[in-house]
Amino acid sequence: MLTTLLVSALLSQASAKPHAYTVQDQVALRRLLAFKVSPDGSRIAYTLRTTDLEANKGLIDLWLINADGSNPRQLTSDPGPDSDPTFSPDGKSIFFLSARGGSSQVWKLSLEGGEPTQVTKSPIDIDSYTMSRDGSMIAFAAETFVDCDTLDCTKKRLDEQAKSKASGRLYDSLFVRHWDTWKDGRRAHLFVTKTSGGTIVDVTKKLAADAPPKPFGGSEEFTFTADGKSIVFTARDVGRTEAWSTDLDLFVTPVDGSKAPTKLTTTNRATDTQPVFSPDGTQLAYLAMSRPGYEADKLRVIVRDWAKGTERSLTDAWDRSAGSLVWAKDGKTLYVTSDDVGQVALFGIDVASGQATRLFNQGSVSSVDASSGKLIFALDSLLSPSDLMSLPLDGKGNATQLTKVNADLLAGVKLGQPEQFSFTGANGDTVYGYLVKPADFDAKKKYPLAFLVHGGPQGSFGNHWHYRWNPQAYAGHGYVAVMIDFHGSTGYGQKFTDAINGDWGGKPLEDLQKGFAAALSKYPFIDKDRACALGASYGGFMINWMAGNWNEPWKCFVNHDGNLDETMAYYDTEELWFPEWEHGGTPWENKAGYAKHNPVDHVAKWKVPTLVVHGGKDFRVVDTQGLSTFTVLQRRGIPSRFLYFPDENHWVLKPANSVLWHETVLGWLDQWTKK
């Protein structure tokens, strides 16, 4: 827990004006999360996360604003999170998820006055929920033991486990742990109950799979049919192959639990996900990949005639991968987000022809709503955290900003100006990057460089406001920040994304080298003799790869959660489909695939001072990979430090840890780039 003195110091620094952007600003910023538009389109409910520095956590509350952006007001202020707002069909109440009663349940707040009332009374925590169109039923996800017939059975068993002096767990299959959690035998199941109360029915009873899928699946993975008689949901029901299968399927099951779930996507062995019904309920849209085992395959938009069961793929000819799916009110258009040349753009897909039209591409769009006759969406960029925006359905005209949730906190705060650039990279392809100038930029001066390498590897370091790897944190500290979207990045066509498969240290390294040279040539204010490179996840792997294969220009490295040994990383990770696809099979089937670009084979050439960072709850890239990297550095006598977070996963999430991370990383860069 932060001391009162430190809390006061952080708040003071975050509010001081004017000043260049700092990590204190970053942890103090409010974060606009999920939102919902009222049935009549007149109001928008949204969740806002603020930081409780004393408690070292985020607080999430409900807010309400008029659709024109006027009269924002806070609705809840409970110490626990109040999240996932949903309007009642008449628009007079908001349902939401809250732990205010000691357990995570669905609550209801009348907008006409009064205190929230508890709606669900599940004996165990509810993780996510959705409502039927008429508001009479709630479907929710909760973790239950598969062999339990009731939620009370699960609660009783959990209580017995808590009292037991024995701590051992016995496993019969993989996924003994996933992301940051050890498995205890429970599965995420879906339950249905009436909004008015009564019996709770497990509609996925005996299903030996998580619905929604772990670790990040939520309410976007299950929905009521228009008549409220059934639930369509996503699950990976593949038995013992779960740890190496990407075969997510759509299922349908009656809300009364009278029949076992029926699989809808019987022919596709790759991912099927995010089902959403058209306004009239006659069509089901969802996203689907084509290649089993590949988590970064193109997501196509599929439309299924609900009565006939026939399906059409709308976007085979569109060389982008669709994100969130939203129907237009008339059912003629689907609105999707997609990575698009350094942006996350908003597109309209004509349901009849499959024609994609770019509607907005100035930053990163998320959480789109089209139910009110306008497009309402959240937007962030390299210059701004997320706010709500409004845009005509055809995308014509200017977008209108509805919220300004950080206007006071960022008033007078100096941000570095971003600029996108391009160059000729590997294979003669055009490769894009971003540069962010120092906040206190003077064209007559030279500045040190923070060269940031994104993770994924199928991701993008684009026009997006990040709370962990934000270029503004470096720009505010006097650095030029440069990010390259190397081969393997998303938003440049599927062929470009696929180019990294089996070539982790090849074309991506060439792009980074050529991008570095292009930035030096284009921007004379970069001091090439004071450059450090930083990366996390795949970016951390790349830092280790660069250490043995491109170490001359660098004054220092920062490796966060990066692999040292790709062969061993296969054996100690959890989602085996990832290395099996990227390296062409298992290590015993294709030893050469893992050895082709393996940093551990080049440690004899290491010489660059390196800061290593790792989380103890990171089960994707296990902490022994970071410790092994530090062992090499120390044993070879290379200046190095090891920052270890026992309570963090693949990311650094706690406010105090974020401050420590940034201060340590920036201090490391300063140590090696000062003249």
At 495-539, the pLDDT tens digits run 999 999 999 999 999 999 999 999 999 999 999 999 999 999 999
132: its two tokens: 């039927």
pLDDT of residue 674: 87
Residue 11 confidence (pLDDT) above 60: no
pLDDT of residue 101: 85
pLDDT of residue 3: 37
pLDDT of residue 675: 64
Integer CA distances (angstroms), 86 to 45, 136, 143, 375, in order? 8, 13, 22, 18
The hierarchical CATH code for the domain 418-673 is: 3.40.50.1820
Q: Specify the amino acid at residue 58.
A: G
Residue 489 confidence (pLDDT) above 70: yes
**What is the C-alpha to C-alpha distance for residues 382 and 476, in angstroms, rounded to an integer?**
13
Q: Contact at 8 Å (CB) between 574 and 650?
A: no
More confident residue, 368 or 1: 368
At 570-605, the pLDDT tens digits run 999 999 999 999 999 999 999 999 999 999 999 999
**What is the C-alpha to C-alpha distance for residues 625 and 229, in angstroms, rounded to an integer?**
49
Residue 174 confidence (pLDDT) above 90: yes
Q: Contact at 8 Å (CB) between 88 and 196?
A: no
**What is the C-alpha to C-alpha distance for residues 374 and 44, in angstroms, rounded to an integer?**
12
Residue 17 confidence (pLDDT) above 70: no
Integer CA distances (angstroms), 542 to 10, 53, 350, 355, 507, in order? 33, 34, 40, 38, 12
Of 420, 437, 509, 441, nearest in space to 474 by CA: 437
650 flagged as catalytic: yes
Q: Contact at 8 Å (CB) between 477 and 447?
A: no
- Stretch 396-411: mean pLDDT: 96
**What is the C-alpha to C-alpha distance for residues 414 and 371, in angstroms, rounded to an integer?**
37
**What is the C-alpha to C-alpha distance for residues 453 and 460, in angstroms, rounded to an integer?**
10
Residue 134 confidence (pLDDT) above 80: yes
Integer CA distances (angstroms), 469 to 451, 568, 612, 651, 658, in order? 12, 27, 15, 10, 10
At 82-99, the pLDDT tens digits run 999 999 999 999 999 999
Q: Specify the amino acid at residue 501.
A: N
Report residue 654: phi and psi, to 5°: -70, 135
Report residue 102: phi and psi, to 5°: 100, -15
Residue 14 confidence (pLDDT) above 60: no
| Three-state DSSP class for residue 128 | strand
Q: How many Cα neighbours within 13 Å face the side chain of 422?
A: 9
2: its two tokens: 């932060």
Choose, from 178, 477, 560, 650, the residue flagged as catalytic: 650
165 burial level (CB within 10 Å; 0-12, 13-18, 19+): exposed
- Stretch 386-404: mean pLDDT: 96
**What is the C-alpha to C-alpha distance for residues 312 and 638, in angstroms, rounded to an integer?**
58
Choose, from 82, 380, 618, 623, the residue flagged as catalytic: 618
| Three-state DSSP class for residue 606 | coil
Residue 243 confidence (pLDDT) above 80: yes
* Residues β-bridged to residue 223: 232
**pLDDT grade, residue 10 (50/70/90)?**
very low
* Residues β-bridged to residue 97: 83, 106
**What is the C-alpha to C-alpha distance for residues 474 and 530, in angstroms, rounded to an integer?**
14
Give Cα 387 distance to the centre of its chain.
17
**What is the C-alpha to C-alpha distance for residues 616 and 453, in angstroms, rounded to an integer?**
22
184 flagged as catalytic: no
Residue 5 confidence (pLDDT) above 80: no
Per-domain boundaries in the chain: 418-673
Choose, from 122, 537, 628, 658, the residue flagged as catalytic: 537
Residue 2 confidence (pLDDT) above 50: no
DSSP state of 485: E
Count of CB atoms situated within 10 Å of the CB of 291: 15
